[in-house]
Chains A and B, each alone.
With several copies, the nearest count.
Chain A
Amino acid sequence: MTATHAFTTTEAAICYTARLIEDDRLYFVAIGGPPLLAILLARRLRGADIAYVVEDGTIAPRMPIPTPAFMIGAGLASSRAVAWTDMNTVDFHAGLGYIDCGVLAAVQVDEFGNFNSTFTGGCYDRPERRFGGPGGANEIASLCWRTVLLTRLERRKFVKKLDFSSSPGYLDGTPGARERAGLPPETGPWRVVTERAIFGFDEATRRMKLLAVAPWSSIDDVLGDMQFTPLIAERVESLPPPSEAELDALRADIDPMGRTIGGDWIHLAGDGDSLQRIVVEPAAGT
């Protein structure tokens, strides 16, 4: 680890998520974006044929890397799948319990893991900022056994109250809340991954719990960028920054065109536990 070690917030979240991906599980991801890149990265790093399904009905494709330029409109994204079906079919597979884990991006998340991808500010009919909508996140977060959420650690993103609840976490956190809303039992958010902290959820209270913090950050630093105060794990792990191997694979093999470069650049100095963030600057085009 050298003083020139640098990565963006998006790259960090992708690398951390890739570490959470298990070889023998089945994943559900959106057609493009960081969640899919995290799986492709895990594949690349481990040489494993990690399987995922996509909303358009593609089951277990072998998307070539580098990824195609316009993934959402490229036939290559579906190539070498074991089956081409349709949206209802893959949702049924999730409903039947076949999909272990959904990996999703969130605009806002609350302390129970409910999240927003609809709008922020204003009201529904006159939003300050409108996003694409729930997409498939609502069904993925409802039906898969576990959900991993990717977002950035910012006060406007870790909110007390969502501007809009697009997709379910543990709802109000009371026991059985998801079941009372008609969702299948024993499901829910599992991890929330950001560029400098990873959260889980407390089994009893269903409240978000800080599990790991980057060595160049701190618990106070993390809590300072959240509107609510999460539970803190008894032993908060140190979250190693993206390794050179991870970043190399992501940048050179998965996405040489640099589409994953989003959020802010983080420049680190130092070594091991003495790592320090020396610069944060916006990445180009964000």
Chain B
Amino acid sequence: MPDAAREPLRSIALLDEGDGAYRAPDPDGMRRFVRDEKDRRLVDKRMSEQDAVARFVHDGDYVSYDTNVWRRGPASLMREIIRQRRRSLWLAAKFSAHDATLLTAGGCVSDIDVGWMEVGRVINEAMQEGRVRLHEWTNGALAYRHLAGALGVSFLPLRYVGGTDVFRMSGAKLIEDPYTGQPICLVPAVNPDVALIHVNQCDMYGNARIFGPGLAPAETAMASRRVIVSTEEIIDPEEIRKHPGATTLPYYLVDAVVHAPFGGYPGTVPGLYRADLQHLMEFGAAQEQGTMDDYLDKWVFSVSSHTEMLERRVGLQKLHQLRAEETHTEGYYT
């Protein structure tokens, strides 16, 4: 039996390590949180986006989402986070889109782990003014760090990141592989405080279905302390049990179920509605022209909810049009 006081058999060389800032992996802390705070009962978790964000997103949280505001992203939850003026969030931008820009414009963000994200005036100015710090990773390394978090371990070995400035600025380590003797990188697990996942279908308990490719929805939900699911459709729990193979997330991972038709707007939810390119151009123009405050006022602050935004700012005709023009449903709903 191993004993802390015992001499190690031998030692493994730690060859190099990055000096980036990251939250120290704490799988035991994650376990205790799950034990003490997560409900294993089948309880109705439906709530408004206001309640979900008020209860489960806090200043200073590490926030992860999947995929991004251009495709099946939790856009309505992001707007609610801005509306509730959360501050000092640390985002996991694993193949992000303008999500990080939007939340930064809303003043919600202090740190971003970057895989890839749309970068424009908002991020640039926030960096210049020191309001936002970036931490360079890669899309895959971020997805993989979520996998590590989902596996309940503190790190995973991987065969990239090494040799680049990404390694130097990251929390990665290069060690002598105890099995092959060759150098191998390790990356630290991430256990986000909260995950935001927009799904196609979900029952009231949180059993959720995602259709189509994705970044790392299952890993992100498993790795995160809190999971807010927004869903295009609430379905009957018995329907979930009729097709258990279709379930992406089982209920016990999920803390809140927000019914949010068009929750991905202005992005697409493939098979349901296309992206609103006009809105995306409006966003782009607001960024370039430095009128993001107007944009946020129009789309976030001047409306009290996602539903009100859809009604008063998008309008039923546009919604019908976006649905009608998503003609490719194959593999999703047909």
Instruction: List residues of A whose CB falls within 8 A of some B CB.
Output: 24-26, 31, 49, 51, 54-62, 69-70, 72-76, 78-88, 91-93, 95-98, 100, 114, 118, 124-127, 130-139, 141-143, 145, 162, 164-168, 171-172, 176-186
Total number of A-B contacts with CB less than 8 angstroms? 295
7 contacts between A and B (CB under 8 A): A79-B331, A80-B242, A95-B152, A133-B117, A142-B159, A180-B4, A182-B160
Collect the chain B residues with CB atoms within 8 Å of residue A142's CB. 159-162
Contact check: which of A57, A125, A132, A180 meets B133 at CB < 8 Å? A125
B163 touches A (CB below 8 Å): yes
Contact check: which of A24, A118, A139 meets B141 at CB < 8 Å? A139
Question: How far is the CB of A115 from the nearest CB of chain B, in Å?
Answer: 9
B332 near A86 (CB under 8 angstroms)? no
Instruction: List residues of B whose CB falls within 8 A of some A CB.
Output: 1-4, 27-28, 30-35, 38, 40-42, 67, 70-71, 93-95, 97, 114-119, 123-124, 127-128, 130, 133-134, 136-141, 143-144, 147, 150-153, 158-167, 169, 174, 182-185, 205, 207, 212-219, 222, 237, 240-242, 244-245, 247, 249-253, 267-268, 270-271, 274-275, 277, 280, 326, 328, 330-332
Question: How far is the CB of A146 from the nearest CB of chain B, in Å?
Answer: 10
Contact check: which of B116, B150, B174 meets A133 at CB < 8 Å? B116
- Residue in A61, A62, A96, A114 with the greatest tally of chain B CB atoms within 10 Å: A96
Contact check: which of B141, B144, B215, B331 meets A56 at CB < 8 Å? B215
- Residue in B115, B185, B213, B214 with the greatest tally of chain A CB atoms within 10 Å: B213
Q: Tell me the bound Cα distance from A127 to B159 in angstroms.
A: 28
A182 near B183 (CB under 8 angstroms)? yes
Q: Tell me the bound Cα distance from A57 to B332 in angstroms.
A: 15
A168 near B213 (CB under 8 angstroms)? no
Q: Tell me the bound Cα distance from A118 to B117 in angstroms.
A: 10
A178 near B163 (CB under 8 angstroms)? yes
Q: Is the interface of A mostly helix, strand, loop or mixed?
A: loop
Question: How far is the CB of B115 from the nearest CB of chain A, in Å?
Answer: 6
When C-beta atoms are compared, the residue in chain B nearest to A83 turns out to be: B247
Known: A82-B207, A87-B216, A133-B114. A185 touches B140 (CB 8 A): no
Question: How far is the CB of B68 from the nearest CB of chain A, in Å?
Answer: 9
Q: Tell me the bound Cα distance from A168 to B161 in angstroms.
A: 8
Collect the chain A residues with CB atoms within 8 Å of residue B215's CB. 55-57, 86-87
B27 near A184 (CB under 8 angstroms)? yes
Known: A79-B331, A130-B127. A87 touches B240 (CB 8 A): no
Q: Tell me the bound Cα distance from A178 to B161 in angstroms.
A: 11
Collect the chain A residues with CB atoms within 8 Å of residue B123's CB. 130
When C-beta atoms are compared, the residue in chain A nearest to B218 turns out to be: A86
When C-beta atoms are compared, the residue in chain B nearest to A94 turns out to be: B152
B164 near A165 (CB under 8 angstroms)? yes
When C-beta atoms are compared, the residue in chain A nearest to B132 turns out to be: A125
Contact check: which of B28, B217, B240, B275 meets A185 at CB < 8 Å? B28
A75 near B138 (CB under 8 angstroms)? no
A55 near B95 (CB under 8 angstroms)? yes
A73 near B151 (CB under 8 angstroms)? no
Question: How far is the CB of A286 from the nearest CB of chain B, in Å?
Answer: 15
When C-beta atoms are compared, the residue in chain B nearest to A116 turns out to be: B165
When C-beta atoms are compared, the residue in chain B nearest to A133 turns out to be: B114
Collect the chain A residues with CB atoms within 8 Å of residue B326's CB. 75
Known: A86-B216, A143-B159. A56 touches B244 (CB 8 A): no
When C-beta atoms are compared, the residue in chain A nearest to B41 turns out to be: A24
